Amino acid sequence: MADIIKNAVKLETREGVRLVRGSHIVTKKLFDHDRAYFFQGSDNRIIFAIPYEDDFTLIGTTDQDHDGAPSNPVCTKEEADYLRKFASEYFERPVESSDIVWSYSGVRPLYDDGASSATEATRDYVLTLRNDGAPLLNVFGGKITTYRRLSEAALAKLAPFFPDARGKWTKHAHLPGGDFPVNGVQDLIEALIQDFPFLDHFWAGRLIRTYGTDAANLLEGASRKEDLGEDFGATLTEAEVDWLTDHEFARTAEDILWRRTKLGLRLSSEEAGWLEKCISMQEHHKPDTDVPPTPQ
């Protein structure tokens, strides 16, 4: 963002972002109920341990200043050790390195308020509008949990330039597949099993949690498992892969297994490799819609 502000649009400003890395570890299931834990440590930080993908536990997160490119953050060994030792202070059995099945990390572009540590940096967003030429809105900070409020605030800033823009409306708008009541998940699972009897509860539950009401569209026309095409393992089928590539812009096995479904926790390396090969072949044979047809 600093590169865009200073070098691309050549804007003089003291405002900027502070890159803070948050890392997580996923372990074998550490407890059998569906509730989350919040733990406070001797360093006054708080971490969580929550049920994850039915058979695992998610522990996070760290707060570390991140140097370098934000595109490929990695949970360091030091961060993983910090999280498991932190959690071990509360669990009856210590969390061992061998319990960790996966780790991941993300970079938060927080507003740089000059805080002395990454933990103390504000999580609030800051919007600034420059109007000494074409209107330029800079968005500093923010979190995914407040993205709708941030969007409304951003549009409010831009309202003078777009008089026909709608007011606050996102509170009642749903994301794709999210058009059901917050307590309606179990009903959706049961309805999906009734409409597609070849599904078991794990499979149906995973599809509903991932796609909501779009799960039925994904399965449309199938009366048996074989109708869904190639079985890649762990209930991932060709029909779901096609849905992800056609509707959710997935392009690689990593997109599907880790960013969309978390089925990377369940597929073997051989199964993941076969999925990647199939996707590559599919992409290779897909027509390039950006290239106009050759005149006849």
Residue boundaries of the structural domains of the chain: 10-111, 126-172, 185-285
Two tokens, residue 203: 């499979």
DSSP reduced 3-state for 33? coil
Q: What is the pLDDT of residue 194?
A: 98
Count CB-CB contacts under 10 A for residue 29. 13
Please tell me the distance from the alpha carbon of residue 57 to that of residue 42, in angstroms, as a whole number: 22
C-alpha to C-alpha distance for 170 and 85, rounded to whole angstroms: 41
Percent of the chain with pLDDT over 90: 61
The closest of 252, 240, 255, 239 to 283, measured between CA atoms, is 252
Which pTM does this prediction carry? 0.84
CATH for 185-285 (3.40.50.10110, 1.10.8.870, 1.20.1050.10, 2.60.40.650)? 1.10.8.870
Q: How far apart are CA 126 and CA 145, in angstroms?
A: 15
Count of beta carbons in the 10 Å neighbourhood of residue 236: 24
User: 3-19 pLDDT, tens per residue?
Assistant: 677 777 677 777 788 89
Contacts of 176 (CB under 8 A, 6+ apart): 212, 214, 247
In the prediction, which pLDDT does 294 show?
A: 46
pLDDT at 284: 60
- Could you identify the residue written with the tokens 């109007």? 131
- Fold type of domain 10-111: D-Amino Acid Oxidase; Chain A, domain 2 (3.30.9)
User: What single-letter amino acid sits at 239?
Assistant: A
User: What pLDDT, on the 0 to 100 scale, is given for residue 1?
Assistant: 60
Check if 10-111 and 185-285 are the same fold: no
Low-confidence ranges of the chain (pLDDT < 70): 1-3, 9, 283-296
pLDDT of residue 293: 47
pLDDT for the residue 113:
86
Alpha-carbon distance of 14 to 31, in angstroms, equals: 48
| pLDDT score for 296 | 42
Give per-residue burial for 101-132: e unless 16+ CB within 10 Å, then b: ebbbbbbbbbbbeeeeebeebeeebbbeeeee
Q: Which tens digit of pLDDT belongs to each residue from 193-251?
A: 999 999 999 999 999 999 999 999 999 999 999 999 999 999 999 999 999 999 999 99
* Alpha-carbon gap, residue 10 to 12, rounded angstroms: 7
Cβ partners under 8 Å of residue 178, min gap 6: 212, 213
| pLDDT (0 to 100) of residue 193 | 98
Q: Please confirm whether the linkage preceding 61 is cis (ω < 30° from 0).
A: yes
Average pLDDT of the chain, as a whole number: 89
